[in-house]
Amino acid sequence: MEEGDLVYINYIGKIKESGEIFDTNIEEVAKKANIYNEKLSYKPLPVLIGAKFVFKKIEDTLKEKTIFNERLFKSRN
């Protein structure tokens, strides 16, 4: 990926210490975690590479990738 490329990502935000899910754009995951909100639209998030829409670590990982049909980023912390 290069700066200016538009990609769509799914994400799951978890609290590091507990593993509790606090945010996601995946409907099934939100329902399982009891954080589902029927007013939200659960769909992939558009990210413009280089526009600082997401954390730098995520964007750097996306820049290294060319295939987007599998899980690309997993926090190692």
Give the pLDDT score at 76: 46
pTM: 0.72
CA dihedral 67, 36, 51, 55 (to 10 degrees): -80
Give the pLDDT score at 25: 96
> Distance (Å, rounded) from C-alpha 23 to C-alpha 66?
26
The residue to which tokens 């590479």 are assigned: 49
Give the pLDDT score at 69: 52
> Distance (Å, rounded) from C-alpha 42 to C-alpha 31?
11
Q: Which sequence spans correspond to the domains of the chain?
A: 6-63
Give the pLDDT score at 67: 57
Task: For the domain covering 6-63, report its CATH number.
Answer: 3.10.50.40
Each residue's pLDDT expressed in tens, for the chain with a length of 77 residues: 788 888 888 999 999 999 999 999 999 999 999 999 999 999 999 999 999 888 888 888 888 876 555 455 554 44
